[in-house]
Amino acid sequence: MAKGSLSVFFSMIIAMVMTLILTMAECVRLYELHSFSQEYTDMAVESAFSEYNPYLWSNYKILAIDLGYGTESIGSGILESKTVDYCKYNASIDGGFNYARLSPQGCNAKYALLTDNQGQGVVILGEKAAMDEMASQVIDGIKGQIDAINNIEKVEVEKKADAGKSTLEKAKKDQEDKKHKAATDNNPETNPADYEEPGSVEDNPLDAFSRIRESFSRGILGTVTKEDGISDASVKLGTLPSHRTLKQGTLSVSSGGDVVEKALFIDYLMTNYSYYCKDLKHDGLKYELEYIIAGKESDAQSLATVVEEILLLREAANFTTIMKNEAMKAEAMAIAEVLAGFTMNPAIVEAVKYAIIAAWAYVESTLDIRLLLSGGKVPLIKNLDQWTSDVWHLSSVGDVNFKAKDSKTGVSYKQYLMSFLSLNTNETLAIRACDVMEDALMQTEDYKNVRMDNMAFAADFSIDYSGEEMFLSMLTPQEESGYYFTKTKCISY
């Protein structure tokens, strides 16, 4: 039998070569450990974030995770546990493909809530939802519409009407006092017949104004629309995000807040939230945009607040129309001369004229509101052909079915809502949008425990892994050898 031998020198060479090979193999394996662990992290985090709340997405186009997963649990505990479970599944030989023998050890997640910074999450997600459907020219169009409405010069129409009516009433009383004095003072030079009786018209515009405004004070909605069609839904304001102390996330996220983003957010709200002329069949409040603008505890109260704001704008616009039209001013002056001519005082006649103009603008505005709430359009500033009411017969507008003339190129109720939204800050709009969404969720059986300040839309994950040495352990076995490292993943909807 042949015998072999191995020199000491060759043995040393073989040992060094094997050490080099094993070290290189371990380096390759360590590289793969990092690669696999990042891949497991990415898959686990994306799997966890795929469990967004379906109700918010289908109804409001908002993607967010309920950190309580339908329970009253608060914070990221369940989310972290689920993420680790996904990692372990991906890292197991049976369920995944863990050829590197990695072991997930734990997870920590910093998260941003929808309600953080007064609802910045809703602003960010809303802008993204709108951006997917809007071109720049559409954004410019929205800004133009809003500016046109908001630039109408405000006029205190009702105060003008009240002031003129008070002046007329005082003049009548003074005239009556003088007449009475002339009849009782035994002065042959004074005669009650010397004092002219106040004139009258068949339908006094100032009286019509008082009656309509009084009906508004009893219930503005009953004056402009049929009350039996108004929603009776309501909320308890004290329980909503905008009125309670909110939980805070652990991750800071903010939006830019420029003019374009404002327009995008307004478009998002107009598209995904219901209002008086647009019923999206959401649970909870029916006039969601009106609530976002007014913040009242019932649909009726929010709608009434919005209607009052539109009325103020329409009063100013209609007052402007009359003041620019000589024929309309002449009609008002004719009535003023009948009502206040007995005073022989041009200043009083002029004051009554402006009161009649204000009353006329007010009544025409009532007709405008009725048209807007029925889905029609009203010009920003009317011309004579677009005018509806007759200053000599203002009492005829008492019928709720009597509306202004429709204009195909005018401004709709929706566009007035857009202008009111633009006057509020994004923070106010967003936190009230959270109110609306939470109220809707609470009306359902599946999501009644969900709270908006426990809904995450972005997170920064850190996942810990451990792995044992494989090739180097053949060279220098150690009881506590191995690798420990952390992988991170930031994700946001």
22 pLDDT higher than 90: no
Instruction: Find the domain containing 433 and state its range.
Output: 120-439
Is residue 460 assigned to a domain?
A: no
Is residue 452 assigned to a domain?
A: no
pTM (predicted TM-score): 0.83
Q: How far apart are the C-alpha atoms of 437 and 441, rounded to whole Å?
A: 6
Average pLDDT over residues 34-51: 90
* 325 and 274 both lie in a single domain: yes
Q: How far apart are the C-alpha atoms of 139 and 394, rounded to whole Å?
A: 41
* Domain boundary residue, one of 401, 417, 439: 439
* Domain boundary residue, one of 423, 439, 455: 439
Contact 170, 343 (CB under 8 A): no
* 96 and 124 both lie in a single domain: no
* 346 and 208 both lie in a single domain: yes
* 1 and 38 both lie in a single domain: yes
pLDDT at 154: 67
372 pLDDT higher than 60: yes
Is residue 489 assigned to a domain?
A: no
* Domain boundary residue, one of 439, 463, 486: 439
CB neighbours of residue 118 within 10 Å: 19
* 166 and 201 both lie in a single domain: yes
Dihedral pair phi/psi, residue 146, rounded to 5°: -65, -45
129 pLDDT higher than 80: yes
Average pLDDT over residues 23-52: 85
pLDDT in tens, 268-313: 999 999 999 899 999 999 999 999 999 999 999 999 999 999 998 9
Q: For residues 199-220, b (16+ Cβ closer than 10 Å) or e, as one string? A: eebeebbbebbeebbeebeeeb
CA–chain centroid gap for 189, Å, is 72
pLDDT at 34: 83
Instruction: State both tokens at 342.
Output: 């007995």
Is residue 292 assigned to a domain?
A: yes
Is residue 461 assigned to a domain?
A: no
* 34 and 172 both lie in a single domain: no
Is residue 470 assigned to a domain?
A: no
* 91 and 202 both lie in a single domain: no
pLDDT at 134: 59
The model's confidence at residue 190, banded by pLDDT at 50, 70 and 90, is low
* 266 and 352 both lie in a single domain: yes
pLDDT in tens, 135-171: 554 555 666 666 666 666 667 888 888 888 888 888 8
Is residue 105 assigned to a domain?
A: no
Average pLDDT value over all residues in the chain: 86
* 153 and 280 both lie in a single domain: yes
Q: How far apart are the C-alpha atoms of 464 and 347, rounded to whole Å?
A: 86
The model's confidence at residue 60, banded by pLDDT at 50, 70 and 90, is very high
Q: Sign of torsion, CA 311 312 317 318? A: positive
* 94 and 134 both lie in a single domain: no
pLDDT in tens, 310-333: 998 999 999 999 999 999 999 999
* 95 and 159 both lie in a single domain: no
Task: Tell me which DSSP letter residue 230 carries.
Answer: S
pLDDT at 470: 63
**In 3D, which of 480, 481, 486, 482 has the Cα closest to residue 465?**
486
* 165 and 76 both lie in a single domain: no
pLDDT at 409: 85
Cβ-based neighbours of 71, under 8 Å, separated by 6 or more? 78, 449
Domain total for the chain?
A: 2
Question: Measured between alpha carbons, how far is residue 426 from residues 168, 266, 369, 460 in Å?
Answer: 47, 9, 27, 25
Q: For residues 262-299, b (16+ Cβ closer than 10 Å) or e, as one string? A: bbbbbbbbbbbbbbbbbeeebebbbbbbbbbbbbbebb
Task: Tell me which DSSP letter residue 136 carries.
Answer: H
Is residue 240 assigned to a domain?
A: yes
Average pLDDT over residues 64-92: 90
Q: How far apart are the C-alpha atoms of 288 and 232, rounded to whole Å?
A: 13
